[in-house]
Amino acid sequence: MSRKQAFQFLDLPRTMPQRIPVELRTSGDWGELYGKFGKEDAQFQAGRCLDCGNPYCSWKCPVHNAIPQWLQLVQENRIHEAATLCHSTNPLPEVCGRVCPQDRLCEGSCTLEEFGAVTIGAVEKYIVDTALATGWRPDMTAVEPTGKRVAVIGAGPAGLACADKLAHAGIQAVVYDRYEQIGGLLQFGIPSFKLDKAVISRRRNVLEGMGVQFRLGVEIGRDVSVDQLLAEYDAVFVGTGAYRYTDGGLLGQDLKGVLPALPFLVQNSRIVGGSDAHGRPIAGWEDQIALPDLEGKRVVVLGGGDTGMDCVRSAVRLGAAKVTCAYRRDEANMPGSAREVANAREEGVRFLFNRQPLSIEAGADDEVIGVMVVETRLDEPDAQGRRNAVPIEGSESLLEADVVIIAFGFSPSTPAWLTERGVEAGHNGRIIAGGKDRLPFQTAHPRLFAGGDAVRGADLVVTAVAEGRDAAASIAQLLAV
């Protein structure tokens, strides 16, 4: 490495691609917040990498991307080779570059942190967007078809990553999803200001070009049985996600004007994307929710995770007059990504920390008038370092609201159609996969594999990708190809 390169981080600050101005965001612009690096910016930012001997960024990245190596290729403008290297570890690199909480993962462990971490995620997005726009596609010329066929249940990141790696192993992957489009929460949960839906359509084209087939609008266990899949295919991968809503049991939560977070985001994504707002309902909410008009309304979102951040920022774009996020712990103990909290603040969202909701209050006509909250203090950390919120007696107050969105989180539920085939359900509804005398991600049924949120509980896109990818390797091993 030249001396000039070695000290580039001192001369050039960390920069992110330009963002959509806040005035546009708060007046209803649903476009991706961050723009794209041009060639020069990407090369400069990549050139800030120190190329450490032991790259912590790669270790902290759940798919263990070869980050310093592809940053070097970017500096040399060898973008197609960089894209090949990105895809060798991560079947959805352009998605992860956009939605990973990099501040907690790769960038959070960059040696340069004190000087501003290398903008790894934005460069990853640059590499793959540029490569795909200039004709790069996964090289399948050396793949030998094995004649084996695998059904993948769920077209979320776990299922898509599994299908990609099965295709590379010469195994025909057929992906089933109950929704009308692929992507799972990438398509219907994560709003378009974080992930443009055209990115998912483009990925669908890439996967179809590799021979992956999709059967959409088909719910396994309802339209097609798992027995039919086991009869037709050599193995089955289950990547059905986590959709069981955490019920806070709040008095008044069934009032009109109280919305559960996920149906709110799904319906809204369908409307913003111009698709049928009455597509297949979210499991558990078969009565499709009608989205209220938020224009001019006071909206309170309960919950401080990424889902809560997506709700507050969506409410801003839907014209709400005042948007408040109430969270029972303090800011330091908030689960949502710091970057998303900063973006929400910039868009005018007000945060009320140390507030625990007690009930949702109604007026004379049963309309929501607000949330009764109590102030909290944090007690000493438990064995996991987590600090419980303890209510402070006598500190109750009414937080006025016209609409309340509840974003308390999700957990999986192992369906009966799996347990009836011998698959074990573990803590909090998770599918048990892997363990003693089994291949990684293999369930108690030898031809049924599982991964992603359905197995680990609600987590991240990149961890779902890692599990789908590794499950495909186990399936290939089982089928001895």
90 binds, among ligand FAD, ligand SF4, none (CB under 5 to 8 A by kind): ligand SF4
Read off φ and ψ for residue 344, nearest 5 degrees: -65, -45
CB 237, CB 170: distance < 8 Å:
no
Among 66, 67, 118, 155, binds ligand FAD (CB under 6 A): 155
105 binds, among ligand FAD, ligand SF4, none (CB under 5 to 8 A by kind): ligand SF4
Residues near 334 by Cβ (< 8 Å), separated by ≥ 6? 304, 305, 327, 341, 353
Minimum CB separation of residue 39 from ligand FAD in Å reads 27
Among 8, 72, 90, 442, binds ligand SF4 (CB under 6 A): 90
The single-letter code of the amino acid at 61 is C
Minimum CB separation of residue 43 from ligand SF4 in Å reads 18
CA–CA separation, 416 vs 400, rounded Å? 42
DSSP-H helix ranges across 273-374: 306-317, 338-346
- What tokens does 20 get? 């959509």
Among 17, 156, 260, 434, binds ligand FAD (CB under 6 A): 156
With both helix axes pointing from N to C terminus, report the angle between 338-346 and 306-317 in degrees, rounded to the nearest 10.
Answer: 20
Listed as own residue / partner, the contacts of 67-71 with beta carbons closer than 8 Å and 24 or more positions apart are 67/106, 67/120, 70/123, 70/124, 70/127, 71/46, 71/47, 71/118, 71/120, 71/123
CA–CA separation, 304 vs 237, rounded Å? 32
369 binds ligand SF4 (CB under 6 A): no
Among 63, 73, 334, 454, binds ligand SF4 (CB under 6 A): 63
Among 71, 82, 96, 323, binds ligand SF4 (CB under 6 A): 96
Cβ proximity to ligand FAD, 374 vs 462, nearer residue: 462
120 binds, among ligand FAD, ligand SF4, none (CB under 5 to 8 A by kind): ligand SF4
Site string for ligand FAD, 79-118 (x = CB under 6 A): --------------------xx------------------
442 binds, among ligand FAD, ligand SF4, none (CB under 5 to 8 A by kind): none
Taking the chain, what is the end-to-end CA distance rounded to the nearest angstrom?
A: 41
Minimum CB separation of residue 402 from ligand FAD in Å reads 22
106 binds, among ligand SF4, ligand FAD, none (CB under 5 to 8 A by kind): ligand SF4
From residue 131, how far is each of 84, 195, 469 by CA, in Å? 9, 18, 22
Q: Which of residues 157-176 bind ligand FAD (CB under 6 A)?
A: 157-159, 176
Cβ proximity to ligand FAD, 73 vs 259, nearer residue: 259
190 binds ligand FAD (CB under 6 A): yes
**Cβ-based burial of 282 (10 A; exposed 0-12, middle 13-18, buried ≥19):** buried
Among 369, 404, 464, 479, binds ligand FAD (CB under 6 A): 464
Closest to 95 measured CA to CA, from 142, 32, 24, 41: 32
Angle at 300 between CA 295 and CA 306, to 5 degrees: 105
Cβ proximity to ligand FAD, 41 vs 453, nearer residue: 453
47 binds ligand FAD (CB under 6 A): no
105 binds ligand SF4 (CB under 6 A): yes
CB 174, CB 166: distance < 8 Å:
no
Closest to 103 measured CA to CA, from 304, 342, 265, 301: 342
65 binds ligand SF4 (CB under 6 A): yes
Among 118, 220, 229, 259, binds ligand FAD (CB under 6 A): 220
CA–CA separation, 232 vs 475, rounded Å? 16
Cβ proximity to ligand SF4, 69 vs 411, nearer residue: 69
121 binds, among ligand SF4, ligand FAD, none (CB under 5 to 8 A by kind): ligand SF4
- Could you please report the per-residue DSSP string of 279-297? SSPPTT--SPPPPPP-TT-
178 binds ligand FAD (CB under 6 A): yes
Closest to 412 measured CA to CA, from 442, 432, 392: 432
Residues near 191 by Cβ (< 8 Å), separated by ≥ 6? 30, 265, 268, 269, 272, 310, 313, 314
Among 45, 75, 102, 463, binds ligand SF4 (CB under 6 A): 102
Minimum CB separation of residue 62 from ligand SF4 in Å reads 6
CA–CA separation, 150 vs 148, rounded Å? 7
170 binds, among ligand FAD, ligand SF4, none (CB under 5 to 8 A by kind): none
455 binds ligand SF4 (CB under 6 A): no
Helix (H, G, I), strand (E, B) or coil at 448: strand
Residues near ligand FAD (CB under 6 A): 99-100, 153-159, 176-179, 184-185, 189-190, 194, 219-221, 239-241, 262, 265, 306-307, 310, 452-454, 458-462, 464
Residues near ligand SF4 (CB under 6 A): 61, 63, 65, 67, 90, 96-97, 100, 102, 105-106, 120-121, 124, 462
